């Protein structure tokens, strides 16, 4: 997950770089960047979803899943404000996205150290249910 967050940061920086790409290269550049984003999403979302379901004790699982889903809602509520920053300058929203992704990289690393050792051993995790 930490690697996925770092890939999202690279994606944001590369999107900001589109401002300086020659017109004839914009389409291939954009396709390559979006393929990078797809790769990051394919690496992040299955792991995040599985961890949000597997880590909490059964009696708190519903609340944990709701919290996981509300994290995406918070991002969707904040998105229009970030997009509105394009009116200020065209690079600022991408810089904010890159900074948020780098912060997520640090936080995911910190959270990873707090996880129980059974997370890395799926057989042990299944046996504890």
- Report H helices in 20-91: 26-54, 61-84
pTM of the model: 0.70
> What letter does residue 129 receive in the DSSP assignment?
-
Measured N-to-C along each axis, helices 92-114 and 61-84 cross at an angle, to the nearest 10 degrees, of 160
The pLDDT tens digits for 55-85 are 888 888 888 888 888 888 888 898 899 999 9
What band does 118 get if pLDDT is binned at 50, 70 and 90? low
CA 103 – CA 67 distance, rounded (Å): 19
CA 104 – CA 1 distance, rounded (Å): 9
Tokens for 29, please give them: 């550049």
Centre a 10 Å sphere on the Cβ of residue 26 and count the other Cβ atoms it contains.
11
Cα dihedral 101/107/110/115 (nearest 10) = -100
Average pLDDT over residues 2-17: 90
Q: Residue count of the chain, please give it.
A: 129
């Amino acid at each position: 997950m930490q690697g996925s967050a770092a890939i999202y940061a690279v994606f944001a920086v590369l999107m900001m770089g589109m401002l300086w790409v020659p017109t004839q290269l914009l389409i291939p550049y954009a396709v390559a960047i979006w393929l990078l984003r797809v790769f990051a999403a394919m690496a992040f979302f299955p792991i995040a979803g599985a961890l949000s379901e597997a880590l909490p004790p059964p009696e708190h699982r519903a609340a944990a899943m709701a919290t996981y889903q509300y994290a995406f809602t918070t991002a969707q509520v904040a998105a229009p404000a970030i997009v509105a920053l394009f009116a200020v300058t065209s690079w600022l929203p991408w810089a904010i996205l890159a900074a948020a992704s780098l912060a997520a990289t640090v936080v995911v690393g910190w959270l990873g150290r707090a996880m129980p050792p059974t997370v890395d051993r799926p057989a042990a995790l299944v046996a504890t249910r």
